[in-house]
Structures are given as C-alpha cells and as structure tokens.
Amino acid sequence: MSILQKISRPLLAAPFVSAGLEALAKPAGHRERTQVLLDAAKKTGCPVAQKDLKPQVVDLATRATGAVMALSGLALATGRLPRSAALVLGTLQVPLALANNPFWLHSGEERQRDLARLVQNAGLIGGALMAARDRSGAPSLGWRANKLAGEISDSASAKIDAITAKVTA
C-alpha cells in the first residue's frame, strides 16, 4: 500500500465511521429523515415503503445501517477488504444522502443548502467508488482472465503446430 493510500483511506472513511457510530448511538434522531425517504419511496411504488413501520423497526434498521457503515468505514481505514468496504459505503451513501438532503421538499435558501450538502455527499460517494476501483497496483480479474486465455491459446497453438509437424514429417 502506498503512502498516499495509507493517508487517504482513513480520511475517506472518517465521515462514514462517524455517521455510522452516531446512527448506532442515537437512532431516534434519524426517524424523521427515514420517514422522508419512505414517503419518497412510496411515491415510486416501492413495496416496503407501502407499509407503516413502527418506530422500533425504523430504529433497528437505522442501527443496522449504522453498524454496517461504521464497520465498513473501519475496514476501509485499516485496509481490510478495502474495495468491498468502499463499495458498500458508496452504495449505502446514496439513499442516505437523499434522506438527509430532501431538496424537493424545500425552496429558497433551505433548498440551496440541501443541494450544496447533496453535492458534498456526491463527492463522498465518488471517493468511495474510486476507492472501490483501486486495486493497489494489482491487475484486475478481467486482465488476469484475458492473460490466462491468451496463454492457454498460445499453448494450444504450440501443441497443434507440434502435432502438425509430426504428421507432415
């Protein structure tokens, strides 16, 4: 791992860990924002959103999301499965960014504030997705598969050439 990765991964992970721990400790503070997201999902016809969820269920879901976020952030910060952790963080952040910044409900200055925070969250999502793509210098699975296929093809061609040479000799 390069020095840049040793510095940038914990910095990228810090807001996710902080938000995850906060959701674990105080899930009740997230109910209103969760309801905003559920209301938006109802309008799209999402079957889960059609049910009225009890506050205990919302709190449990908030705590579970917080735990996943905190653990994934710690995994990214420490370099344990960093690509998977970053992908989880980037994916989780999309609905959370919308729930925390419901710009469609506001107008004027409050709408501008929501949009500015949404753009900041988009930066976090982008950073997490870039970290998910970072292979630390190792080739991708696609590249390795193509190389192996090429080696198999070259080996098969060499064997066919050897057999053909024996037959024609």
pLDDT at res. 138: 62
Concatenating the DSSP letter of every residue in 57-76 gives HHHHHHHHHHHHHHHHHHHH
pLDDT band at 140 (very low <50, low <70, confident <90, very high): low
- Work out the average pLDDT over 130-145: 71
* Average pLDDT value over all residues in the chain: 83
More confident residue, 52 or 154: 154
- Work out the average pLDDT over 145-167: 81
pLDDT at res. 48: 67
Please report, for the chain, the start and end positions of each structural domain, with discontinuous segments joined by +.
3-138, 139-169
pLDDT at res. 68: 93
% of the chain with per-residue pLDDT over 70: 91
pLDDT at residue 7 is higher than 90: no
Contact indicator for 23, 92 with CB cutoff of 8 Å: no
Q: Write out pLDDT tens, residues 19-55.
A: 999 989 988 888 778 777 777 777 777 776 656 777 7
Q: How far apart are CA 158 and CA 126, in angstroms?
A: 46
- Per-residue burial over 138-156, b = 16 or more CB atoms within 10 Å of its CB, e = otherwise: eeeeeeeeeeeeeeeeeee
Token reading at 126: 């982008």
- N- to C-terminal Cα separation, the chain: 55
Q: Write out pLDDT tens, residues 46-94.
A: 776 656 777 787 788 888 889 999 999 999 988 888 888 999 999 988 8
Contacts 24+ apart (CB under 8 A), 121-125: 121/93, 121/96, 121/97, 122/97, 124/12, 124/15, 124/16, 124/93, 124/97, 125/90, 125/93, 125/94, 125/97
